[in-house]
């Protein structure tokens, strides 16, 4: 029993030091948007996630900041929608998360590539009514 308590204590201390771990990070292309989804584990010392985006793998900029949901030991799921993708055929966007700890430490996830579907069609009242005929 003492041995098990020691292992649990060591695990909790190491998770508090690490801040959090992102076990899954993916991007789903949508119509004029990109939906980012990720799962984090053990958010003991985590302040939040800086969402970064770029047009190439070397120059990513901060897009937004998502606050952590709190000190959790289990899995926590997040969703973020990037509605600011620009109209351009064949453009690939690169995304990455920067995990920011409460003590200022940071860790970055692996980069993902997403190619959103861009629609140039404008929805008008007539086109919306025609969908329901």
Q: Rounded to an integer, what is the distance from CA 123 to the centroid of its chain?
A: 29
Residue 121 confidence (pLDDT): 61
How many domains are there within the chain? 1
* pLDDT tens-place string over residues 58-90: 999 999 999 999 877 889 999 999 998 876 656
Residue 53 confidence (pLDDT): 96
Residue 8 confidence (pLDDT): 36
Residue 129 confidence (pLDDT): 60
% of the chain with per-residue pLDDT over 90: 50
Residues of the chain with pLDDT under 70: 1-19, 87-90, 118-133
DSSP tag of 31: B
Residue 88 confidence (pLDDT): 62
Residue 101: domain span: 2-131
The CATH number of the domain holding residue 64 is 2.60.40.10
Phi, psi of 9 (to 5 degrees): -65, -45
Helix (H, G, I), strand (E, B) or coil at 11: helix
Residue 3 confidence (pLDDT): 43
Tell me if 86 sits within 8 A of 34, measured CB to CB.
no
């Amino acid at each position: 029993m003492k041995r098990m308590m020691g292992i649990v204590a060591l695990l909790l201390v190491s998770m508090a030091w690490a801040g959090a771990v992102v076990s899954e990070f993916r991007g789903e292309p949508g119509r004029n948007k990109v939906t980012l989804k990720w799962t984090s584990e053990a958010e003991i010392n985590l302040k939040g996630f800086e969402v970064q985006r770029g047009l190439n793998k070397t120059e990513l900029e901060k897009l937004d900041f998502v606050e952590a949901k709190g000190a959790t030991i289990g899995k926590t799921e997040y969703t973020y929608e990037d509605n600011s993708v620009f109209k351009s055929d064949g453009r690939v966007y690169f995304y990455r998360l920067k995990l920011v700890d409460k003590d200022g430490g940071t860790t970055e996830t692996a980069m993902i590539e997403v190619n959103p579907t861009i629609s140039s069609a404008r929805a008008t009242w007539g086109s919306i009514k025609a969908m329901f005929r």
